[in-house]
Structure 1
Amino acid sequence: MLAELTVSMVGASSPLRDRVVRTLEDVGATTVAAEDSGTSMSDARSYADCIVYVSTEGGELWQETVDKESSLPIVLCGPRDETHLAAAINAGVDAYVGPEEIESQLVERIGTVVSADSTRLSDERRELEQRDLIIETVADGVYSLDTDGCYTMVNDAVASMTGYSREELLGKHVSAIMTDEDVVQGRTLIKQMLDEGGPSVTTYEIELVTRSDNRVPCEVVMSLLPGEKPFNGTVGSVRDIRDQKQLERELRERKRNVESVHRVATQLENTRAIETIDDIALDAVIDVLDIDVCCLKTTHDGQPRWHVTDPRIDIEAFPICCLDEQIHQRTVRGDRTFVVNDLHERRDETRQTNIRSLLSVPVGENGLFQAGVLDSDGFGYDDAEIAELLFAHVANAIERIEAEAQLVDERDRFAALFENVPDPVASIRYEGDQPIVLDTNPAFERTFGYDVDQLRGESIDRFVVPPEGTDRADELNERGRRGELIETEVERQTSSGRREFLLTVVPVELGEDSPLTYAVYTDITERKRQQQRVEVLNRVLRHDLRNGMNIVKGCAEMLESSTGDEYGYAETIKRRADELISLAEKTRAVEQTLEHDERDLGSVDVVEGVQSMVDRVDNEHEDVEFTVSTPDSAHARSDNMLRTAIYHVLDNAVVHNDTDEPAVDVTVSVNDAQQVTVTVEDDGPGIPREERELLEEDREITQLRHASGLGLWLVNWVVTQSGGTLSFETEGIDGTRVHLTVPKALTEDDLEPK
């Protein structure tokens, strides 16, 4: 191995040196000898593989001749004493060989240090190659400058950025590709880095000047080169930040636009007129977006309102207010934004304008905003997003104004109702368990005799509830406070004494603890008194009339049996007594009908009811011909009094028929309007027109003009109480056709989905 090595010999001529030379030559190594220890080693370093220093026994200071800059391995041959050993360690000697070891150990130790140095050099070479590869492959430019600011190294990225070749840049001053201001800035930063405690790395921005005199914004990361001198130059990287600067500009523009939209949103919140909203929106969108023309459609009270900006271009054709009708329809129907990069690419229709790029944004339910520019690709995602944000605020503002207007209208209508309703009304707030008066209407003041200023802030019960009614009033207050809707009869103290009222308590929020309610007092005193009078008269009429007529009828029968009835007076008395007794029974039926209310209604089998009533009338009268036509089933929403009504219509058709053999047709039908109709047609003289008009409320009831009996009145009340109608038909027929129409009762089949 040593036969391939070249060894540089350093040291004065001596027997020890001769022994070293002979030993090396014996193994075939090439030695290069110097005249003395002071000979420069610069030439030897260029081709030697190892340096051998020979120190004589005279003890000259050999270490002073050691070339510390050399990267070659060093072997020292000399006396083995503490002075030489310490000097060898301090000088960085790789191996030491004593005089007695030259022939036996020198060759081995030279081979060892050369082999180790070869491995080290190989690693360093590999590291250098990797470093160069990294420097050349990174996207950033990498450079180094000497102390004068001239380039000593640049990679291909720097050359690509500047337009110069690497050879052109090497040795040039930085001012060749940097502005004077940036050169001064760099020198200032280097001084700061050289100061004690200064930064080891600094970052700053420059404008790189290219060969074609273009300015490229760049970011420089710079640090100082290491070395023995205080300043040995700089090294750094250069990054092209044009994309970053563009992004920063876009972000600043976006921030400005968003802030502008938020300012507009604040303006819209304080606006009370829709016309002002339209103007604010158009001004804002023109400020935010770079557009040539735009239009805005908003809807108010169901009517569209169009606004078109003064166009800065010559519109070739503008037949409608929107910039593009097809995109208009798609935007409104789909409720989404459309961006069209080039309207001229559409070949299936005639272009409406000479704009090319279109932005179309929905505004609320039926509104629309469209903006256009002359160039293609004029709008991006950010433009659409900003426009959507802006017109979302516009739609909210319009909705708010319309809602506020509706609330004002409702408030005014409620105030008018509150003031003008004929019943006394009090606005109540529950504080604890006390109903405190907030306001009353004029009818309340007239009825109860208290001015609203006397009542406001006080418990209403203290003024209007009688002493014996406080417990029930407390119960009603608790129910009202819980949000219940209350309708009940109460007695209250008024300016004219105690009166009966139907009290309706209406909470502002049903079903929840509601401190706000309205109490409506409907005076039913006269109605209650009238009802009591009618009930007393009705009982007296039924009881006394029926009993008296039974006595009269009995006496007439006794008179007839004892004296005979030659002139028919007794028969007349009995017939009239029967009629009055029947009248009393009808009065009872009428009372039962009037006592029912809608909550008592249910499902009644009309077909079965008609058949049973026909059988009853047929049994009561002779020589009557009935014709009945019914469906398999028909159920009405009524009560059992409907059977009584059907009976009276049938009975009336027979009793008032002057033919020898009355004919009565009965039909039951169900129409598409979910109604059941019972039609009774006879061939008699018919119901007098005056009575029909009375029943149909076309004439006023007077003492001289009233229905001859209660039967048809009972029919009318039963049908109307069921939610139906009673009608008559006489034109084109011999007798009378009576129609009883009542709502159909819903069955399970009706509730099944069709």
Structure 2
Amino acid sequence: MATSHDARVLVAVSDQTPSDYGADVVGALEASLNATVLSKRGSVATEYLRELGPTLDCVVVVSDRTVCVENLASVADEVPLLVYGDEVPAVPVDEVIATDGGTDLLARRVAARIERERERNALTEANAKLSALNAYTRELTGCQSIEEVSDTVVSAVTNALGHGRCVLALREGDEFYPYGHTLSDEPEIRLSVEEGVVGRTYRTGETQIVDDYATDPDFTRDIDGLRSVVSVPVGEAGVLQVSSNREAAFDRQDAEFVEIVASHAKEALARLQREADLRVERDRLHYFFEGIKSPAVYVESTDGSEPVLTEVNTAYEALFGTDAVGRPVSEAFPTESERELFGLEAPDEVVHRRITRESSEGPKDLVIGMVPVPITGVERSAFGLYAADVVFP
């Protein structure tokens, strides 16, 4: 029935009781709870509770005197207040334990109360951490660079979760580099994907909770102030690690909080990579347009809605102008054939149609070819090529 070894219980008795009154209660609690049990009398107990209440897990009043209970209740705040006596006090308390149940019953009730309070406090703390994390996860969705992601991740771990030693190690080739960290020593050190706890985390894709780094099978080197580690994969991008100078400092709940941060970091980094890939493809599209002598267009839909005329080349601009750029296909093209070829119901293969369309040079008979192309991050995209005397296969 032992409580946590760091539990602290105050036994309070009134000034009017004999000096050894309550000693049996103190002895019983010390023997049963494996906790620090303090004994204070009268006004000293009240003042102690007023000043150091947050350090206590429970207060046991061994007195039926109304004034003693009232004084303690007035300063107890959220500290559980139990009365060991045979009369119900006039002021509200958390529980009254009759003396005929003996000190064994009292010890069990105190232990149960401490455990309930700690569970409640743990839940409150967890909710507070989740609320704090929400602000950082929203911020991650707007990060525009890897450096911004790294800084936000480190801030989330150190501020929202309260962990001071943090490293976001991202993979570069076959090595990890600490992009974001709070380490003052060896910030530039690199490890391969085959080394250390970081390598094991990345290779297995599973969270690692290390209670004693010095005895871990993947121990690599002595690091001052590092005893325990929680190491979480960040997808294919890298690993997020939090460490402590205390042994067995992290439990599964700590790991789950770090996993939340890592999950949002993974999405933010993946988004940045998709945007980078899309920029490369769009750059290629620009060069492609510049090299074509015939009129050409590009249409796309990023979310499954009607495609939009996104870009035209110089030849198209000279013949038809640019007023329609940025408008949906149904408004951007004057002929039914073009609207069909570039719309939502367009074929998934290369198709050509003959059209007649007004231009800066008057009506023109043209052949238009629609070429669907896959582009990263785009739901539907296609090129359109216009020619006067070429039939597209």
> How do 1:239-278 and structure 2 match up within 5 A?
239-240=109-110, 241-278=113-150
- Which of the numbers 136, 156, 159 marks the counterpart of 1:287? 159
Matched, 1:397 2:268: yes
Residue 331 (structure 1) aligned to one of 189, 201, 205: 201
For each residue in 1:33-56, what CA deviation from the matched residue of structure 2 results, as whole angstroms up to 9, or x when unmatched? xxxxxxxxxxxxxxxxxxxxxxxx
Q: Percent identity?
A: 23
Change (3 A) 1:301 1:518: farther
The count of aligned residue pairs is 307
Aligned counterpart, 1:160: 28
Give yes or no for contact 1:489–1:503 (8 Å, CA) kept in 2: yes
**CA–CA distance in structure 2, aligned partners of residues 440 and 266 of structure 1:** 36
Distance 1:385 1:477, change over 3 A: closer
1:406 and 2:274 correspond: no
Q: CA shift at 1:386, angstroms?
A: 0.8
- Counterparts of 1:291 and 1:523, CA distance in 2: 68
Cα distance in 1 for residues equivalent to 2:168 and 2:146: 13
* Whole-Å separation in 1 of the counterparts to 2:155 and 2:332: 54
CA contact (8 A) 1:298 1:304 kept: yes
Contact 2:299 / 2:342 at 8 angstroms: preserved in 1? no
- Deviation digits for residues 615-648 of structure 1, max 9, x if unmatched? xxxxxxxxxxxxxxxxxxxxxxxxxxxxxxxxxx
Separation of aligned partners in 2, 1:383 and 1:278: 20
Partner residue, 2:234: 363
Amino acid at match of 2:296: V
Contact 2:177 2:191 in 1 (8 A): no
Q: How does 1:525-674 map to 2 (within 5 A)?
A: none
Q: Structure 1 residues 184, 322: CA separation in 2 closer, same or farther (over 3 Å shift)?
A: farther
* Residue of structure 2 in register with 1:138 after alignment: none
Give yes or no for contact 2:82–2:96 (8 Å, CA) kept in 1. no
Residue 337 of structure 2 corresponds to residue 503 of structure 1: no
Structure 2 CA distance for aligned equivalents of residues 205 and 350 of structure 1: 47
Q: Does 1:220 align with 2:88?
A: no
Q: Tell me by how many angstroms 1:496 deviates.
A: 5.5
Report if aligned partners of 2:171, 2:237 keep a CA contact under 8 Å in 1.
yes
Could you give the per-residue CA deviations for residues 649-673 of structure 1, whole angstroms, max 9, x where no partner exists?
A: xxxxxxxxxxxxxxxxxxxxxxxxx
Post-superposition Cα deviations, 1:313-333, rounded to whole Å, max 9, x if no partner, equal xx7x99944699432221111
Deviates more, 1:349-358 or 1:275-284: 349-358
In the alignment, structure 1 residue 183 sits paired with structure 2 residue 69: yes
* Residue number in structure 2 paired with 1:77: none
- Does the CA contact (< 8 Å) of 1:486 and 1:503 recur in 2? no
Question: What is the Cα deviation at residue 500 of structure 1?
Answer: 5.9
Alignment of 1:14-93 (within 5 A): none
Q: Does structure 1 conserve the Cα–Cα contact (< 8 Å) formed by 2:212 and 2:227? A: yes
Q: Whose helix fraction is larger, Structure 1's or Structure 2's?
A: 1
Kept after mapping to 2: 8 A contact 1:306/1:321: yes
Alignment partners' CA distance in 1, 2:272 and 2:160:
25
Give the Cα–Cα distance (whole angstroms) in 1 for the partners of residues 183 and 173 of structure 2: 28
Deviation at 1:452, TM superposition (A): 3.3
How far apart, in 1, do the equivalents of 2:147 and 2:164 lie?
23
Change (3 A) 1:372 1:402: same
Displacement, 1:408? Answer: 3.4
Matching residue of 1:376: 247
Q: CA deviation at 1:255?
A: 1.7
CA shift for structure 1 position 524: 2.2
The partner residue of 2:322 within 420, 444, 452 is: 452
SS of the residue corresponding to residue 94 of structure 2 reads: strand
Say which SS state the counterpart of residue 170 (structure 2) adopts.
strand
Would you say the 8 A contact 1:426–1:437 is kept in 2?
yes
**2:97 and 2:106 in contact (8 A); partners too:** yes
CA spacing shift, 1:276–1:523, aligned 2, 3 Å:
same
Find the aligned partners of 1:280 and 1:221 in 2 and give their Cα distance.
49
Letter of the 1:265 partner, please give it. T
After superposition, the C-alpha distances for 1:317-359 in whole angstroms (9 at most, x for unaligned) are: 9994469943222111100111111123358976432522122
- Aligned residues of 1:182 and 1:207 also touching (Cα < 8 A): no
**Aligned AA for 1:460?**
P
Structure 1 residue matching 2:247: 3-state secondary structure: coil
Whichever residue aligns with residue 152 of structure 2, its letter is I
CA 1:302–1:496: 2 relative to 1, 3 Å: farther
Contact 1:507–1:518 (Cα < 8 Å) also in 2 = yes
Q: 1:344 aligns with which of 194, 214, 224?
A: 214
Instruction: Verify the 8 A CA contact 2:228 2:244 in the aligned structure 1.
Output: yes
Report the alpha carbon displacement of residue 412 of structure 1 after superposing the two structures with TM. 4.2
CA contact (8 A) 1:363 1:394 kept: yes
1:277–1:300 CA distance, 2 compared to 1 (3 A): farther
Secondary structure, aligned partner of 1:524: coil
With CA pairs under 8 Å and 6+ residues apart, which has the higher RCO, 1 or 2? Answer: 2
Equivalent residue of 1:460, what SS? coil
Structure-1 separation of matches of 2:73 and 2:216 = 60
Q: What is the alpha-carbon root mean square deviation over aligned residues? A: 5.0
Does 2:347 match 1:487? no
Q: 1:274 to 1:246 in 2, by over 3 A?
A: same
Q: Tell me by how many angstroms 1:361 deviates.
A: 1.3
Taking a change above 3 Å as real, the CA distance of residues 184 and 162 of structure 1, as seen in their structure-2 partners, is: farther
Give, in whole Å, the separation in 1 of the partners of 2:214 and 2:83.
41
SS of structure 2 residue aligned to 1:184 = helix
1:206 corresponds to which of 65, 77, 81: 81
Asked which structure has the greater CA Rg, the reply is 1
TM-score by length of 1: 0.34
Q: Distance in 1 between matches of 2:201 and 2:333?
A: 58
Q: TM-score, normalised by structure 2?
A: 0.60
Separation in 1, partners of 2:214, 2:338: 74
